[in-house]
Structure 1
Amino acid sequence: MHGRLLFALCRSCCEEMQQCDCNHEDPKMREFTGTWVADELRKAVELGYSITKIYIICQYEITQYNQIDGSGGLFAEYVNTFLKIKQEASGWPSWCTDEATKLQYIEQYRLDEGITLAKNNIEKNSGLRAVAKLCLNSFWGKFGQRSNLKQTEVVKSRESLLKLLTCPERDVNDILAINDKILYVNWQYKDETVTPAPHTSVVIAAYTTAHARLELYNYLRRLGDRVLYYDTDSCIFVSHDDAPDEYKPFVGSKLGDMTDKLCGYGENTYISNFVSGGPKFYAYTAVTPNKDDKIECCKVKGISLNFSNGVKINFDSIKNLINDAFATEDHESEKMNDECSKIRLKFKAIRRTKMHEVLTREESKTCCVVLKKRRYLTSRKSLPFGYKNN
């Protein structure tokens, strides 16, 4: 909705981006119509939601990987191949301090994942690990790739151009004259005439993301309002040293386990300050006990934080952006998008033009707070659209 993936409780509140208690009493104004994986629907019903109407159900043959004999499942050999590379390139865990613990780690991983790591290959290699991780994470995305991508055709005759312009199955988006005899025609199929690509399967892609959301929900439910930020496969939350019984997610090295992203800075490193200006836009400072090093990390989607950009975008500047955005109590105003709530960056970039020329040119990007996915009470507390106080 509004071009964004939203997780809300009321459709009408989403459409209106309502920043107050839901006042839609009619269930038809609150209900959503869409396509969901059965596992998500089971969880929704378990939590008290009602399914009011079913239009169509698609059923597929199910296969599950057998870890004991390695049979069944989808793409098990592919996943095991790159998981082995990724795990070996991650290096030894911090607790592997001698030969005995290293052998114990290899054996335990074999029992848990059915993969035998090569002892001589276990060495930290960030580049190799990144490649293996990319192969693992991007594989499912190919199944969900859009089939109707724009295409460019070189046209050299009047007949070819007329054929494209009059074809009932295609829409012409752009025509670029190269010279008196050649045109570049950009076109794509109309949605109703698209033939699915042979390598895509929306079902596989949907099941992958659905199970990822359900797994993330299990963490969010137990962490509750201690959660500061979460994304597809990560979660930043508050932990209290004086609460030994407080839930803390299990951290491990197996497939599906959460990993501690701070362990690379040193043992027991923790985040001391955290701010977020929207999805994939956050910054934090961290502390490692018995060390005086200043740790600062910023993540801003679409912006490379090189030295020049890092001077303008850092923890303090992002914090100031957010404080400025919440300087007014009227969160429905345009305050979050006015001039004083933006950081403008100018940089040089190598780009290719429509004429296939490669050149270096000046570009600019704007960094600003984007808080359009939830209802914000304060700079520290937010609720999903459609939330109603009892």
Structure 2
Amino acid sequence: MEIEAVNNFVDIFPKFDTINKYPKYTLGVSDNELEEKIIEKLFEIEGEDKVRISVHAKSYSNVDELYFIIKSKNNPDLQTVCVSDINSAVDLLPYWNSNKYPYGRWTDQRVNNDNNNIIRTVSDYRFHIQEGKILFWEKLYNFPSMQFNKSSGKINERIGAFDLETYGENNGLGISKVYAAGCAMNDGYKAFYYLNENNLNSSEEIICSMFEGIFDHIENNPNDLNNYTFFAHNLGRFDSVFLIKSLVNLGYKIQPRWKDNDIIIVKITKGKFKITLLDSIKLIPSSLAKLLKSFNCEITKGHFPHSFVNEATLNYIGSKPVINHYFENINDDTLKIYNSLPAVINLKDECLTYLRSDVLGLLEAMNKFSRFIFESYGLNITNYKTLPGLSIDIFGCWFYNKDLDIKMVKGPIEEFIRQAYFGGNSNIFVGTQERFVASGYHYDLNSQYPFAMKNAMPTGNPVFTNNTDINYYNIGFVFAHITPPSEDSLKNLFIQKREVDGSVSCPRTTFSEYISTVDLRQGLEYGYKFEIVCGVNFPDSCEANELFGKFVDSLYELKSTAKDSVTRSVSKLILNSVYGKFGQRENENVIAVMEKTKAEALILKNHINYVAEINDNFVLVKYGARINERLRSIYLSEQSEDLISNSFTKARGIPSAVQISAIISSYARASINPFKNLENVKVIASNTDSLILDTKLPENLINNNLGSWKLEHEFIQGIFVRPKLYCYTDINTIELIRKAAGVDANKLKYADYEKLAKGISITTEQKIFSVNWQNLTVEIKNQTIKLQGI
């Protein structure tokens, strides 16, 4: 939303002073016949003991109109004014107190027994009027409540796992090809495939053979095996690309769903038999090696020389390849592992052993995860595509108090709040000449976001308003002109501004921004000044601990006291993933596999992102909303009108509960901001949930409680180039700790950081997997990345 548009909206909003008073006239009807009919009808509807009524008249353009005032006997400060015409007044009385009333209607609420101080409600607007002048107005909304899935009655044990092994056709680089595959099911079925074995001479033949085997097995026992769910680790970016093209050619019905350019689910149908493919990394965001270790699985992740494999080495037997083919990062630990491996290998046997461990290990882990979730919360993991989706239903089924009412907002209100949704703030606070730090301390906050969730939350319906008084807002989001304090008053700033390019900064000069009231109130404590233009208030916000308190305390206690690794790992995952789900919007784009003739018709009626040819008959199409010529013409005609005068009265768009995520993020920032300006402490750098200082924090701040600090590293020889690009040596382990956003930090040496801090740019290489959805290929590339010196 443009800043100018927000200001304009406030300035041009229609003034309703003209309805402040209606002079009284006689009805012009003999013996007050009509007045008696109106009063009699109203008493029949509402009961004479509940309301009082007076009827008045006024003439507009020679048309006789009247208005009647209905007052509540139970509340003398409340009255409703209904405008009508003489002929319809009696018939319309049943609708006098509803939005179905077709004529002008408003309600006045007297404030503090003062006739000159009223709140006037007109349709969805509420005007606060004093001495005949509007002090401020509010736009009222009634959004739907958030819904959660219910718990399941029986655990779904129809779980399987599969994996594909690929190589780059050009010595590890270039277009990827599948050379091995494997799958396993809970009923004991297992199958593994290798290129050039059993007449499997291509990637497509391997994939088709594996899935034909799965469906043949299901057909032998459909009552127990139909509707199986298979997990693959990293299905979304790699394995799914190889699957779609191959399985369409088999004649299967393929239904993939994308989100953020990743496939999150694939449903495959062969006749009356169905299977579902899910990405396990979306449910447990961890490498497979860490997953098997954290879940204490019997099967461990093996080691295999991936980059050694190409078409010529598929049947290699000989000395084990050099260590670089096994590990990208070589250190004492990886060297020890490499030396323990057999000196001579059979590549095919090694591959199938490695593949078997991956498939069976993943199946073991997902079964452990499934049993834990069902036994603890009565939910089946096979019903969920992502961990946040699962976590939010755990909250909804077991901890949510519906009376607190989380709303699914949409349209301009959702967009307004989303503009105020900022993440954590990463910064380097030392000057150019201070980037080399002799010693320091790196602290992390314990469970920063779960701790933030225990605060008061914006529940209930929002109100949009032009009120400029911060004391009016309970919890909400405002658009404001912000003036930061001087450097003498506050050295390290923390109120964020989103730049045009999407980057975030903390300016020293006055700026305008969307901001939460949590950020604003903390800013006031540290010398910031604010001029509010307008905002979104949540008047029915709940108190601290009411919404998420039990959820956070229960999961944190479970994590802290768990005696087994599965409980500890899963509790931590759930606890840290739920908050972001509230702010997610479902992608409006649809991706489908369809016949070319159907795609041609679709292209004429929808917004198309891309079309990928699968074979002579089928294509993969990513498309958006249907083109509506009528709406398009309306939109074009409305562009000449004011941008905002209509938009805040309409609530179109994709709904979300972004107000929850945005306010939690604000509380999380507020928990770390005070430590950026401690007396006699130099702050070297900060990340979302961590601080790097030159001095130790007081011991009373260091413990294992929620929101407390823990010392991650005491270090020497630190170099801090810019946010998320620094290194230092841990004083206890003598390990070089490296951070480098966007590149593989393990490839950078201490000397590289030295050069960068001295203004000398460097280059580094990074292997990337590039997915081309239009060609349905995966290409492995070595990309050269330049890091700019300061």
Same fold (TM over 0.5): yes
Q: 2:612 aligns with which of 176, 179, 193?
A: 176
Q: How does 1:250-289 map to 2 (within 5 A)?
A: 250-262=701-713, 270-288=714-732
Residue 165 of structure 1 and its aligned partner are, at CA, apart by 4.2
Normalised by the length of structure 2, the TM-score is 0.31
Residue 260 of structure 1 and its aligned partner are, at CA, apart by 1.1
Residue 151 of structure 1 and its aligned partner are, at CA, apart by 3.4
Quote the residue 2:538 is aligned against.
59
Q: Determine if the alignment matches structure 1 residue 344 to structure 2 residue 764.
A: yes
Cα shift readout 1:348-388 (whole Å, capped 9, x = no counterpart): x66655279676723325251487xxxxxxxxxxxxxxxxx
Give distance in 1, aligned partners of 2:567 and 2:740. 24
Q: Percent identity?
A: 20
Query: Would the alpha carbon gap of residues 281 and 75 (structure 1) be closer, same or farther in structure 2, given more than 3 Å must change?
Result: same
Contact 1:173/1:187, CA 8 A, preserved across alignment: yes
Quote the residue 2:572 is aligned against.
133
Stretches of structure 1 lacking an aligned partner (at least 5 in a row): 11-29, 66-71, 90-120, 241-245, 263-269, 326-340, 372-390
Quote the residue 1:39 is aligned against.
518
Contact 2:611/2:620, CA 8 A, preserved across alignment: yes
Q: Determine if the alignment matches structure 1 residue 298 to structure 2 residue 738.
A: yes
Cα shift readout 1:153-199 (whole Å, capped 9, x = no counterpart): 223254554334433xxx32222222232222223459x997434xx
SS at match of 1:361: strand
Normalised by the length of structure 1, the TM-score is 0.59
SS at match of 1:174: strand
SS at match of 1:183: strand
Give distance in 2, aligned partners of 1:129 and 1:223. 38
Which has the larger Rg? 2
Residue 302 of structure 1 and its aligned partner are, at CA, apart by 3.8
SS at match of 1:56: strand
Give distance in 2, aligned partners of 1:249 and 1:151. 53
Cα shift readout 1:58-113 (whole Å, capped 9, x = no counterpart): 22422235xxxxxx522334323431243236xxxxxxxxxxxxxxxxxxxxxxxx
Quote the residue 1:163 is aligned against.
602
Give distance in 2, aligned partners of 1:131 and 1:313. 33
Q: 2:753 aligns with which of 318, 328, 331?
A: 318
Cα shift readout 1:7-63 (whole Å, capped 9, x = no counterpart): 2233xxxxxxxxxxxxxxxxxxx33132x2212122233344333342233224222
SS at match of 1:73: coil
SS at match of 1:294: coil
Q: Determine if the alignment matches structure 1 residue 80 to structure 2 residue 553.
A: yes
Residue 287 of structure 1 and its aligned partner are, at CA, apart by 1.4
Give distance in 1, aligned partners of 2:590 and 2:680. 47
Q: Determine if the alignment matches structure 1 residue 226 to structure 2 residue 682.
A: yes
Give distance in 2, aligned partners of 1:366 and 1:223. 40
Q: How does 1:1-20 map to 2 (within 5 A)?
A: 1=499, 2-10=501-509
Cα shift readout 1:288-333 (whole Å, capped 9, x = no counterpart): 3xxxx5221112234445xxxx3x41333222222134xxxxxxxx
Residue 215 of structure 1 and its aligned partner are, at CA, apart by 1.3
Query: Would the alpha carbon gap of residues 177 and 224 (structure 1) be closer, same or farther in structure 2, given more than 3 Å must change?
Result: farther
Give distance in 2, aligned partners of 1:239 and 1:324. 27
Query: Would the alpha carbon gap of residues 41 and 174 (structure 1) be closer, same or farther in structure 2, given more than 3 Å must change?
Result: same
4+ residue runs over 6 A deviation: 246-249, 355-358
Residue 237 of structure 1 and its aligned partner are, at CA, apart by 0.8
Give distance in 2, aligned partners of 1:224 and 1:158. 72
Cα shift readout 1:236-277 (whole Å, capped 9, x = no counterpart): 01017xxxxx86782111111111113xxxxxxx21122233
Quote the residue 2:668 is aligned against.
212
Higher relative contact order (CA 8 A, sep 6+): 1
Contact 2:612/2:776, CA 8 A, preserved across alignment: no
Contact 2:682/2:695, CA 8 A, preserved across alignment: yes
SS at match of 1:147: coil
Query: Would the alpha carbon gap of residues 318 and 175 (structure 1) be closer, same or farther in structure 2, given more than 3 Å must change?
Result: same
Give distance in 1, aligned partners of 2:569 and 2:719. 27
Stretches of structure 2 lacking an aligned partner (at least 5 in a row): 1-498, 627-646
SS at match of 2:692: strand
Give distance in 1, aligned partners of 2:784 and 2:622. 27
Root-mean-square deviation (Å): 3.4
Quote the residue 2:46 is aligned against.
none
Cα shift readout 1:180-222 (whole Å, capped 9, x = no counterpart): 32222223459x997434xx31111111111111111111121
Query: Would the alpha carbon gap of residues 207 and 48 (structure 1) be closer, same or farther in structure 2, given more than 3 Å must change?
Result: same
- Alignment: residue pair count: 268
